[in-house]
């Protein structure tokens, strides 16, 4: 190519390269593909809520990445199938929150109003997509909340009701001791111990 022809083409090449750089700058960066989160139930599944006391076990879910990393600050939505057996305090069907530093989100504020099976869906929305898990609970007529221990496969009474139950049992024992001692003409009270240990 003659020098004169090259000199004529040089401005055109510069313009073309400039346009190519501008177009490349406008294109979004191609990040590595992001995956939806993984949501797992931490506690609250198969719990039995108390209709008489309007007390319920707040379910907890854990949100992790596909690689198993804890995800904090992720929006989580707890949603009831309907309000036939109960409702949330703020919005009847929905409770919204975010995961804490442990990746956990708690569905608070559910009020059981009628006995029956309760279906609740927990959905986490992460940059890579969303994922959900279904929580099943039951509303019962018992005066206390009963949780379900996945490891033992047994129901567990809530701690405050367990303490009240122990106190009632101690009271019954004391009453029996008083009655028996009174019938013999002497009142002797033992010292009941709750929870043992030094």
Domain ranges of the chain: 38-157, 158-191
Kindly report the pTM of this predicted structure.
Answer: 0.64
Q: CB of 133 within 8 A of CB of 40?
A: yes
What is the Cα–Cα distance from 132 to 92, expressed in whole angstroms?
20
Tens digits of pLDDT across the chain (198 residues): 555 554 454 555 556 556 555 554 544 433 445 899 999 999 999 999 999 999 999 999 999 999 999 999 999 999 999 999 999 999 999 999 999 999 999 999 999 999 999 999 999 999 999 999 999 999 999 999 999 775 555 556 654 444 444 444 445 444 444 455 555 554 444 445 445 444
- Classify domain 38-157 by CATH number: 2.60.40.10
What is the Cα–Cα distance from 88 to 13, expressed in whole angstroms?
66
């Amino acid at each position: 190519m003659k020098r004169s022809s090259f000199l004529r083409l040089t401005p055109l090449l510069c313009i073309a390269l400039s346009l190519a750089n501008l177009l490349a700058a406008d294109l979004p960066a191609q990040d590595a593909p992001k995956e939806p989160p993984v949501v797992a139930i931490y506690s609250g599944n198969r719990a039995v809520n108390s209709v008489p006391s309007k007390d319920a076990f707040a379910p907890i879910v854990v949100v992790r990445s596909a690689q198993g990393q804890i995800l904090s600050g992720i929006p989580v939505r707890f949603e009831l199938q309907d309000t036939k057996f109960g409702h949330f305090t703020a919005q009847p069907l929905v409770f919204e929150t975010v995961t804490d530093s442990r990746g956990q989100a708690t569905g608070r504020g559910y009020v059981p109003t009628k006995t029956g099976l309760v279906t609740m869906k927990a959905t986490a929305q992460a940059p890579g997509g969303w994922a959900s898990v279904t929580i099943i609970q039951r509303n019962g007529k018992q005066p206390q909340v009963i949780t379900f221990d996945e490891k033992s496969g047994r129901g567990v009474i809530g701690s405050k009701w367990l303490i009240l139950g122990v106190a009632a049992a101690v009271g019954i024992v004391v009453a029996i001791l008083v009655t028996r001692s009174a019938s013999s003409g002497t009142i002797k009270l033992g010292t009941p111990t709750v929870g043992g240990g030094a």
